Amino acid sequence: MASQPPPRYRVCLIGSGGVGTIASLVLTKSGLAHVTCVLRSKYDYVSQHGWDIDSIDHGKIPGWKPHRITRSAVEAARDDNGGLDPVVEYDYVVVCTKQLPSVNPVAAIISPVMTVGRTTVVLIQNGMGIEEDVIEAWPGNVVMSSVSHIGSWVEEPNGVVQTGKDVSKMGPHLHAGIEDSVSVERARRFVEMYVRGGGEACELVEDIQVARWEKVLWNGTFNTVCALMRMDVGELQRSKGREAILVPMMWEIWNTAKVAGHPMPESIVEWMAYRLPDDCSYRPSMLLDLENGRPMELEVILGNVLKKAQLLGVDTPCMATVYKLLKLEEWKGDQRRSGKA
């Protein structure tokens, strides 16, 4: 029996939670990638027992591990024997952490595993403008992102449950430091790898910004207002908050995207606002973060959209009000976490 050829790409994945672990599984299954996952709090347990995965896409896989698990990006940059020479050079660095620029800036997190001119950065994260700091730090590297729609989470101590299919749009963030054709080709190769590993609903798109604007149409409204009001989605809709605040906010986001050169169809606002039933008990991520005393992704989900609107002269009174009120909630959370409240 012929032996399998070695993986073509070296991949480092940082942020192996519900989304990241499924991504690492897909990339490993492709047979094209040697995957190193950086784990922090769960390193000891998962390195010994692996992940117990229960996935709608991949079935039940007990004790699953990628090719390599490390405690940090610094450790991931060393060779497999722990030496410092040669340093591992990665083809792709995949980032699945929460986007918290003031707490854990992505450029600092990935710096140990970046090779100038070689490593493509793949951001599987929420928000707008998330690519800008990475491009500034490595102007000669390809940067791409994925807009992911997946229902997956971690259950203690080492379970990963995926109940919603892995649907994603991926594409490059074109920038002056590198030829567009190179960015598109690196993105195409990554999508090919992802589809081959079982991510069949993964699509390469020409304008990833449109996909990001479409997602922020939901995240910037339902996610933020549910957090502010401590309501689940159904409660917010039944209270008439959808008509009073969500739909006006959606049109503000829609107008900002249009002026920014990334127009969305008008029909998307009504579809996004009314696609979920009024008895939907879903509690968005920002609400859960607020209830559990964790930092919220406020800046990338709403703050950056507001900055773009102000730069383009788009009026956004509803978004601005929600943002200011959530900044007060953020301050209260910071005070509690620092022991001042």
Q: Is residue 38 domain-resident?
A: yes
Distance (Å, whole) CA 165 – CA 168: 10
Instruction: Assign residue 215 the CATH number of its domain.
Output: 1.10.1040.10
Q: Is the predicted pLDDT of residue 1 greater than 50, yes or no? A: no
Domain endpoint, select from 143, 176, 206: 206
Average pLDDT, the chain: 94
Q: Do 79 and 132 share a domain, yes or no?
A: yes
Higher pLDDT, 79 or 27: 27
Question: What mean pLDDT comes out for the span 39-47?
Answer: 93
Point out which residues pair with 59 in neighbouring strands.
55
Q: Do 179 and 118 share a domain, yes or no?
A: yes
Q: Is residue 1 domain-resident?
A: no
Q: Are 72 and 40 in contact (CB under 8 A)?
A: yes
- The total of other beta-carbon atoms located within 10 Å of residue 278's CB is 13
Q: Is residue 68 domain-resident?
A: yes
Q: Is residue 39 domain-resident?
A: yes
Q: Do 180 and 54 share a domain, yes or no?
A: yes
pLDDT in tens, 199-229: 999 999 999 999 999 999 999 999 999 999 9
Cis peptide leading into residue 86 (ω within 30°): yes
Q: Do 137 and 161 share a domain, yes or no?
A: yes
Q: Do 167 and 251 share a domain, yes or no?
A: no
Point out which residues pair with 132 in neighbouring strands.
none
Q: How confident is the model at residue 338 (pLDDT cuts 50, 70, 90)?
A: confident
**Structural domain of residue 57, as residue ranges?**
9-206
Q: Do 256 and 283 share a domain, yes or no?
A: yes
Domain endpoint, select from 172, 206, 240: 206
Distance (Å, whole) CA 136 – CA 138: 6
Distance (Å, whole) CA 249 – CA 251: 5
Number of domains the chain contains? 2
Q: Do 179 and 244 share a domain, yes or no?
A: no
Instruction: Assign residue 68 the CATH number of its domain.
Output: 3.40.50.720
Q: Do 235 and 105 share a domain, yes or no?
A: no
CA angle, 167 as apex, 219 and 206 as ends, to 5°? Answer: 85
Q: Do 162 and 302 share a domain, yes or no?
A: no
CA 84 to chain centre: 30
Share of the chain above pLDDT 70, in %: 96
Q: Is the predicted pLDDT of residue 4 greater than 70, yes or no? A: no
Distance (Å, whole) CA 144 – CA 183: 8
Q: Do 57 and 35 share a domain, yes or no?
A: yes
Q: Is residue 278 domain-resident?
A: yes
- The total of other beta-carbon atoms located within 10 Å of residue 53's CB is 22
Q: Do 137 and 156 share a domain, yes or no?
A: yes
Q: Do 94 and 76 share a domain, yes or no?
A: yes
Domain endpoint, select from 161, 189, 206: 206
pTM of the model: 0.93
307's enclosing H/E stretch is: helix 304-312
